Amino acid sequence: MRKKEKGQSLVEMALLLPVLLLMLLGLLDFGRVYYAMVAMNDAAQEGAAYAAMRPNDHAGISARAAAASTGLITIQPGDVMFVPPDSLQAGAPVTVIVSYDFTFYTPVAQSFFGDNTVTLQAQATNAIIPTSP
C-alpha cells in the first residue's frame, strides 16, 4: 500500500502549482496597480498644489505633476490634464487629472480587459490661493 502513495504528493503538486502561480501573479499585479494608483494620486496632488499657486501656467502644472512620478511609474507631461476654473479668483477650484496606461503581468487579465493594458486615472482638486499684492 505504501508504494501506491509515493506519487500522490507529486500529482497533487503538479495539479496545484499552476493555480498557486496564477494566484501569486494576481497578487503581484494587484500590488502594482495599488502602487500605480498611489503614485498617480501623489502626482495629481502635486500638480493641483502647483495649479493653486499658478493657475495660468499649464505647462508648469503638467511638468510639476510629471516630475512627482518617479520609480516604477513614469508619468509624461502629456498624460496630465488640467481643468481650469471658470474664473481665476481666489478660492475657485482647479482640477488636475493624471492618466496612466497600466500593463498587467498576469495572462488572466487578458480575459477581463481584452488586452493586458488598462488606463488608470487619478484626479485632485485644490482652491486657487490668493496672491499677495
At 65-88, the pLDDT tens digits run 999 987 788 899 999 999 888 888
Q: What is the pTM of this model?
A: 0.80
Give the pLDDT of residue 109.
72
Confidence of residue 37 (pLDDT cuts 50, 70, 90): very high
- Looking at the DSSP bridge assignments, the partners of residue 90 are none
The CA distance from 65 to 68, in Å, is 5
Residue with cell 479668483: 89
Domain ranges of the chain: 3-127
Residue with cell 502626482: 43
Give the pLDDT of residue 114.
75
Q: What is the mean pLDDT of residues 111-133?
A: 84
Give the pLDDT of residue 133.
58
The CA distance from 8 to 76, in Å, is 53
